[in-house]
Amino acid sequence: MLWRVSSVTDERERDRERGTVNRNAKRETVPTPPPASSKPALTEEELEKKSTAIIEEYLHINDMKEALQCISQLSCSSLSVFVRTGIESTLERSTIAREHMGLLFHQLLKTHTLSTQQYYKGLLEVLEVAEDMEIDIPHIWLYLAELICPMLQEGGIPMGPLFREVSKPLVPLGKAGVLLVEILRLLCKAMSHKKVGAMWRDAALSWKDFLPEDKDANKFVTEEGVEFTLGEECVRKSSKVTLSPEDISRELERLLQEKADNQRIFDWVEANLDEQQTSSDTFVRPLMTAVCQSAIIGENPYKVDATEMTQRAKLLQRYINNEQKELQALYALQSLMMQLEQPPNLLRTFFDVLYDEDVIKEDSFYRWESSKDPAEQQGKGVALKSVKAFFTWLREAEDESDSS
């Protein structure tokens, strides 16, 4: 056999020199094997299995670079399966898992690994059955919004095309407006209502396009608290009733006891308080007190629900945003501990969480520790003793940082 191939090769060389082609020899050449890299296409079930493995690893270690590398090895035409699998596998997980999944989709699109059409295809497959899933997942529209919202970041998909596309299967069901409201509320967490309203108007969007024909668009907008989409004059109502500190405290406590999400509290604050009020001690203190009270669980001993505090970190960060307000927040916490008769370890736990969540900075803790304000001395001595170990740790960590 080796001789035959060699013989044919020699004969073809002679033909080439004579300017002729020996057709018989050509037929007898060894056929070229297919490229080693070509693999049989994966079935949809295999794609789902592979996608699930990538997603599980990504959510476990949160390594975006590694996930992008793994996904790039999937066939481009099969990425809609990855999108659908990613959405379905995180719908009933944590908010953080959904946000991370949404950020991964955004990065895939931004790096041109995922096409807009493949993203839409995977997403719409879920949206088409979302109403049926609502029976088992009552908050599905919020969960879908958490997955979709990161796609509106720079390098993703503009609001106009995205909103029009995701609404296609939902308008006939009367659910498009529900989903869009959830997305808009999430956007307002990251930016002002004014900016989100401008994005809506720049995209030339109209609520009438997303609501059933018999639905009053103006009434819907008012009920859902998205007046900021109608125009700048609607972003902040000019006539506000001035609320007393007691009223503010009572309303904040009520919202937190009802487990209202942060956006609902932002909306209440924006609708009822002006900037001067939200910057004052009469707002910062009740806010801190209400949030910390809502995170206390059990009784004798009391404990801190760290998950609740983590969820409220963005709420606190929005309004407690400088050293003076941070100091007032610590005074409010000191007062709360005194009302609760100085439960052991409770203040220390709050300090740990507030520091870890970047709500209170080191300088503010030190300022509270050394404060001699006569109006703030009640309960201060006991409070200081209860957090002595916290300040020891804080100084040691600072010394280690300086020495390194």
Measured CA to CA, the distance from residue 359 to residue 315 in angstroms comes to: 10
Q: Are residues 271 and 221 in the same domain?
A: no
Measured CA to CA, the distance from residue 264 to residue 11 in angstroms comes to: 85
Measured CA to CA, the distance from residue 200 to residue 231 in angstroms comes to: 10
Measured CA to CA, the distance from residue 252 to residue 293 in angstroms comes to: 11
Q: Are residues 269 and 297 in the same domain?
A: yes
The larger pLDDT score, comparing residue 348 to residue 225, is at 348
Residue type, 297: I
- Distance, CA of 200 to chain centre: 20
**Listed residues 208, 234, 260: the one ending a domain:** 234
Residue type, 130: A
Q: Are residues 227 and 266 in the same domain?
A: no
Q: Whose CA is closest to 310, among 355, 341, 363, 258?
A: 355
Is 240 among the domain residues? Answer: no
pLDDT at 3 over 80: no
The residues pairing with 296 across neighbouring beta strands, listed in sequence order, are 304
Is 330 among the domain residues? Answer: yes
Q: What is the mean pLDDT of residues 82-87?
A: 95
Is 239 among the domain residues? Answer: no
Q: Would the pTM of this model clear 0.75, i.e. be above it?
A: no
Residue by residue, DSSP assigns 9-37 as: HHHHHHHHHHT---HHHHHTSPPPPPPTT
CATH code at position 118: 1.25.40.180
**pLDDT tens, residue by residue, 5-32:** 344 345 444 444 444 444 444 444 445 5
Mean pLDDT for the chain overall: 85
Contacts of 285 (CB under 8 A, 6+ apart): 328, 329, 331, 332, 335
Is 108 among the domain residues? Answer: yes
Share of the chain above pLDDT 70, in %: 86
Q: Are residues 114 and 64 in the same domain?
A: yes
Given this model, what pLDDT does residue 83 score?
A: 95
Q: Are residues 86 and 192 in the same domain?
A: yes
Is 257 among the domain residues? Answer: yes
Given this model, what pLDDT does residue 403 score?
A: 65
Measured CA to CA, the distance from residue 187 to residue 193 in angstroms comes to: 8
Q: Are residues 205 and 283 in the same domain?
A: no
pLDDT at 402 over 70: no
Q: Are residues 81 and 224 in the same domain?
A: yes
**Listed residues 199, 234, 269: the one ending a domain:** 234
Is 296 among the domain residues? Answer: yes
Q: Are residues 293 and 318 in the same domain?
A: yes
Is 32 among the domain residues? Answer: no
Q: Are residues 73 and 94 in the same domain?
A: yes
Given this model, what pLDDT does residue 157 score?
A: 95
Measured in Å, how far apart are the chain's first and last C-alpha atoms?
71
pLDDT band at 259 (very low <50, low <70, confident <90, very high): confident
Q: Give me the residue label for tokens 């109502």.
A: 237
- Boundaries of domain holding 321: 245-403
Please give the structure tokens belonging to residue 323.
């050293």
Coil vs helix vs strand at 240: coil
Domains contained in the chain, number: 2
pLDDT at 53 over 80: yes
Measured CA to CA, the distance from residue 228 to residue 59 in angstroms comes to: 35
> What φ, ψ does residue 128 adopt, rounded to 5°?
-65, -25
Q: Are residues 199 and 269 in the same domain?
A: no
Is 215 among the domain residues? Answer: yes
Q: Are residues 358 and 271 in the same domain?
A: yes
Burial state string for 26-36 with b = 16 or more CB within 10 A and e = fewer than 16: eeeeeeeeeee
Q: Are residues 105 and 203 in the same domain?
A: yes
Measured CA to CA, the distance from residue 370 to residue 107 in angstroms comes to: 46
Measured CA to CA, the distance from residue 168 to residue 298 in angstroms comes to: 47
**Listed residues 234, 266, 294: the one ending a domain:** 234
Measured CA to CA, the distance from residue 391 to residue 330 in angstroms comes to: 14
Measured CA to CA, the distance from residue 364 to residue 328 in angstroms comes to: 10
Please give the structure tokens belonging to residue 186.
């999430």
